[in-house]
Amino acid sequence: MSDKKIRVLIAKPGLDGHDVGAKVVAHALRDAGMEVIYTGLHQTVEQILNTAIQEDVDVIGLSILSGTHMPIAEKLMAGLQREKAQDILVIIGGNIPKKDHERLKAMGIAGIFPTSTRFEAMTGFIKDRVKVQ
Amino acid sequence: MSEAAKEALGEKKKEEKKVRPVILESGIEVKPVYGPEDLKDFDYGRDLGTPGEFPFTRGIHPLMYRSRPYTMRQYAGFGTPNETNERFKYLISQGQNALNVAFSLHSQMGIDSDDPLAEGEIGRVGMAVDTLKDFEEAFEGIPIDKISTSLTINGSAAIMIAMYIAIAEKRGVKLEDVRGNAQNDILKEYIGRGTWIFPMEPSMRLIADTIEFCTRKAPKYYPVSVCGYHIRESGANPVQEIAYAYCIARAYIRSVMERGLHPDEFVGRFSFNFDIHGNLFEQVGKFRAARRLWARLMKEEFGCQNPDSMQMKMIAGGGGGGLTIEEPENNIVRGAYYGLISALSGTQTMALCSYDEAYTIPSKKAARISLRTMQMLVEEMGLADTVDPLAGSYYIEWLGNEFEKRIKEEMKKVDLQGGMVKLVADGTIQREVSLQAYNIEKKLQSGEIVKVGMNKYRQEGPQEELAVEFHEYDPAVAREKIEGLRKVKASRDNDAVKAALDRLRIAATGKENLMPFIMEAVKTYATVGEMTNVMKEVFGTFKEPVKL
């Protein structure tokens, strides 16, 4: 494994303003040795895609608490395909009910970390998956 | 003191040191026992006062709930204004005596339902509002002269207040008699919650415009509810919750004073929205100290003489951050304790978080349980029988003193760093609270802070998920809303709309109070998005200072 730090974009898509989770996770990933880019509230899927590509990130972490995760995830995954950037690992956190997990995974979302997930579950997952690639 | 007594005291101190230390979230260290020695300088008149009298520690009314119980105001709203209207009527039929309107996120951001940015949002977390017609539908058949209505709205508050006033006027209520309140606290939106639209300066202007307008024209309307609540939910401790809210309130007061008004003319129509979760006694101590400190601040710092200005009025009861997604029924119990704390603290209005809020917007059943909880406290448990029943408790009064001291210190810290407006504009406060949120989360994960059923006594294996009645997003509702908007746009006088929007644009470039211009535009059925965009053209939009 190289010394290069894993680069993660933490993104708050849409109009949802609940950013405590996004910021807390950003701090936790940084403390776990990753390079974290957080772009603030109200990002469109296009903005997230652009940032992810420009910043050459390994991981995109979406934080969504308003219930709009399905359409946003769908758009983002389609965008990654269009940009031929499917190698970016996409994970999602926030208020994500179990009933949606299967459909999100089918779309290509690698990991789902609902509210009250432990940090090490998240950091462990990212380190395992990014290393494999 | 005799030698024997000294020895006994020494022994007692040693014993106390052996027990586990208790430090509250506010940083206050709690002893196992309190007594008269902790209140040596206690002076009833100076520190507490008779209920209804300065410094209002015991409550703002002489008889408090004995003469009038707290108002019960559950937060509600989803889908179309018609659906919201049905829920309002249901809650009123169940004994609720006030309304608290939840708006769809896009409406909170000044975006119309037919804007692509609203896709997937319409009616999801509140009712979607585009034009005055939506307010007419939402309040159809509701006696707005008897039921007071609170609008949980911030970024687009000036527009929504104008809409509410417009329907009241249409129903024959005189402007000077219109009652109700709006959250309209933009500074806390920059700290937590995030429904900001414009940069800070024009946002502060709009706050001052709404306060000035209501003071001069609609004096019974409460134009601002300063929210420590969301700041605490974003990571602030209880001392900072009050301190930051008061610093924000002071910023608003000063901006209105620049319009030539004395605080005694308008501060009586300020209210506060505070958070309850965590330690029971800490919260009660916090609120009683906060009430006393507000009275002193208004009297000493702002030279207020009107007792109304010195009375800190609050809504309290909710504490979403205290609820857990694990074993969600436990949240019913937590909600009941938060209600108890709120009643013991002398709140004016109570609203509880429903037990399913970690999953969805409250179901009808969950909203009813919250309402019943508030009713039980008043009608079964005796919380309305006597004023401020914890007064005189050694522990509570000592805690209150500690709180007042610490809140003042925290406010001073803000002042020394350049004041609230500056610290929010450059992201300092946001960084402070998010770092604290991270520390709290670490303590939750390590078990240092206990949440029963979540990080202690947790059920092994996969968690059972609540069989909640999910409020599903319905694309048909969105289509219906967009179609309704199209019809309004087709039937209104579009020349009048354009003229009103032009006048609003010109006024925005100057210094006039914008409320009359917004009122005029609202009455032509101009949309929330049209009005917001006109102001965006002049004001621009806020650029978030992201600091991790």
Question: pLDDT (tens digit, 9 = 90+) per residue, B320-377?
Answer: 999 998 899 999 999 999 999 999 999 999 999 999 887 777 888 999 999 999 999 9
Residues in A closer than 8 angstroms to B105, CB to CB, are: 14-17, 66
What's the one-letter identity of residue B424?
V
Q: Which one has a higher pLDDT value, B489 or B75? A: B489
Residue A72 confidence (pLDDT) above 70:
yes
Cβ–Cβ contact B84 with A under 8 A:
no
| B289: three-class secondary structure by DSSP | helix
Q: How many residues does chain A have?
A: 133
Based on C-alpha coordinates, what's the Rg of chain A?
13
A40: contact with B, CB 8 A cutoff: yes
8 Å CB contact of B194 and A20: no
Q: Which residue has the tokens 């900001």?
A: B196
Q: Does A66 contact B438 at a Cβ distance shorter than 8 Å? A: no
Task: Provide the shortest C-alpha distance from residue A10 to chain B (in Å).
Answer: 12
Cβ pair A11, A62 in contact under 8 A: yes
- Arithmetic mean of pLDDT, B172-196: 95
Bond preceding residue B55 cis, omega within 30 of 0: yes
Under 8 Å between Cβ of B244 and B414: yes
B121–A68 C-beta distance less than 8 A: yes
Chain A, chain B: beta-carbon pairs less than 8 Å apart: 90
State whether residue B326 sits within 8 Å of chain A by CB. Answer: yes
* Contact assignment for A27 to B438 by CB distance below 8 Å: yes
- Model confidence pLDDT, tens digit, residues B261-309: 999 999 999 999 999 999 999 999 999 999 999 999 999 999 999 999 9
A60 SS3 class: strand
Q: Identify the pLDDT of residue B465.
A: 67
Cα–chain-centroid distance for residue B167? 24
Q: Identify whether the C-beta of residue B73 lies closer than 8 Å to the C-beta of residue B130.
A: no
- A95 contacts in B (CB within 8 Å)? 358-359
Q: Is A25 helix (H, G, I), strand (E, B) or coil?
A: helix
Percent of chain B with pLDDT over 70: 98
Q: Does residue B547 belong to the interface with chain A, where contact is any CB pair within 8 Å? A: no
pLDDT class of B125 with cuts at 50, 70, 90? confident
Domains and CATH numbers, chain B: 44-62+150-446 (3.20.20.240)
Tokens representing residue B338 in the block:
């938060």
Contact A95 B119 (CB under 8 A): no
Give the count of beta carbons closer than 10 Å to the beta carbon of residue B33: 10
Is the pLDDT score of B259 beyond 80?
A: yes
Q: Is-contact B527 B128, C-beta < 8 A?
A: no
pLDDT at B399 over 90: yes
What number does CATH give the domain A7-132?
3.40.50.280
| Residue B64 tokens, joined | 């408090």
CA separation for the pair A68, B546 (Å, rounded): 23
Query: Cβ(A52)–Cβ(B466) under 8 Å?
Result: no
Whether residues A15 and B105 touch (CB distance < 8 A) is answered with: yes
Q: Is B464 on the interface with A (CB under 8 A)?
A: no
A95 touches chain B (CB under 8 A): yes
DSSP letter string, B156-213: THHHHHHHHHHHHHHTT--GGG--EEE---HHHHHHTT----S-HHHHHHHHHHHHHH
Test B106 with A26 for CB contact under 8 angstroms. no
Nearest alpha-carbon partner for B127 in B149, B153, B101, B148: B101
- Distance (Å) from the alpha carbon of A133 to chain B's nearest alpha carbon: 28
Q: How far is A22 from chain B (nearest CA, A)?
A: 10
Q: What token pair was written down for B398?
A: 């000592």
DSSP run (H or E) holding A93: strand A89-94
Distance from CA of A99 to the nearest CA of B (A): 10
Nearest CA in chain B to A99: B465
Is A106 near chain B, with CB under 8 Å? no
Residues in chain B within 8 Å Cβ distance of A9: none
Structure token digits, residue B291: 């009430």
Q: What is the ipTM of this complex?
A: 0.93
B194, A42: Cβ pair inside 8 Å? yes
Q: Using the structure block, give the residue that is written with the tokens 């032009």.
A: B502
Residue B4 scores a pLDDT above 90? no
Q: The tokens of B471 are what? A: 């409020």
**Across all residues in chain B, what is the average pLDDT?**
94
Q: Do A95 and B109 touch (CB under 8 A)?
A: no
In angstroms, rounded to a whole number, what is the distance separating the alpha carbons of residues A63 and A16? 9
For residue A30, the one-letter residue type is R
What pTM was computed for the model? 0.94
Q: Which helix (H) or strand (E) holds A37?
A: strand A35-38
* DSSP H stretches of helix in B262-418: 263-266, 280-296, 307-310, 330-344, 364-379, 394-416
Cα angle A39, A40, A44; round to 5: 80
B99 φψ region: left (φ > 0), alpha (ψ -120 to 50), beta (else): beta
Rounded (5°) CA angle B410-B416-B420:
70
Shortest distance between the Cα of B158 and any Cα of chain A, in A, equals 20
Within B346-393, residue ranges assigned H as helices are 364-379
Which pLDDT score is estimated for B417? 98
B490: pLDDT strictly greater than 80: yes
CB contact under 8 A, A119 and B445: yes
What pLDDT shows up at residue B467?
A: 64
Say how far apart CA A37 and CA A58 lie, in whole Å. Answer: 11
Range with the poorest average pLDDT among B18-22, B256-260, B391-395, B426-430: B18-22
For the ranges A52-66, B3-17, B183-197, which has the lowest average pLDDT?
B3-17
